[in-house]
Structure 1
Amino acid sequence: MTYAGDTGPSPAVTVWAKGSDILVSEIMALDALLEEIRARRKDASPAMLGGMERHLSAHHLTPEAVGDIAAKAGAGRVVLTHFAVPPGPLAPYEPGLRAAIGAGYSGAVDLARDLQSFDVGCRA
């Protein structure tokens, strides 16, 4: 099992995850987060917004990046945690997160819930 906490896209994560039965990863909905920031901070300068986008992109993983890492590492399953999405229910973002991961990764994808557990199992 490999756990990727707050990280940006990194070839090292792919190397560490090589052959993992489970890749546990944080994930963010970058466009939705930026839209939320713009809506809440109407006074934000373009420089501040650009800095926020650079920060989020460097320190968190988009669903596309998670799918890419999982596919290249040959991970058996992806378990998503630490959801960086706008405040409120996660459900509206789930289909988009799954679809974006699935564009590059064909394995199972789970969105972790409190107290949930996952069997590692054996892969042939």
Structure 2
Amino acid sequence: MGVGIRAHLGSSQSPLAIRALLVHCAEPIDIPHVEVRGRASQHLAEIAICNDDTVRVVFEGTITASKYIRAPIPVPDEPLEGLVKIKETLVYATEVDPHHPGNYTRAGLDVIFRPNSGQGT
């Protein structure tokens, strides 16, 4: 499915972005294991094409230790009516720490959602 996404979107998306799309669009399944989020969608259109009332935004970048990135959520100029649902999927790559297999990586992320940050609330 990842190869199909790459063929559909071209080289504009990195392998890590394609992985994020696959995870984000995973179909939920009933397996009693906490480490299983779902299975990859079986149809390319469910990943590469959004419904009329949906948008997928992919932010890509590099961050170093003790730094932060603001990823503003793009919204239309006209006011939105009704409830707005925001769903996020974070995928990042970091070096593996072979000396601490329990921790596995040398880095982690803290994510903070700040709605209306431009309005001071």
Q: TM-score range by the shorter chain?
A: under 0.3
**Higher Cα Rg, which structure:** 2
**TM-score when scaled to structure 2?**
0.27
TM-score of the two chains, using structure 1 as the length reference = 0.27
Tell me which of the two structures has the higher relative contact order, counting C-alpha pairs closer than 8 angstroms and 6 or more residues apart.
1
Report the structure, 1 or 2, having the larger helix content.
1
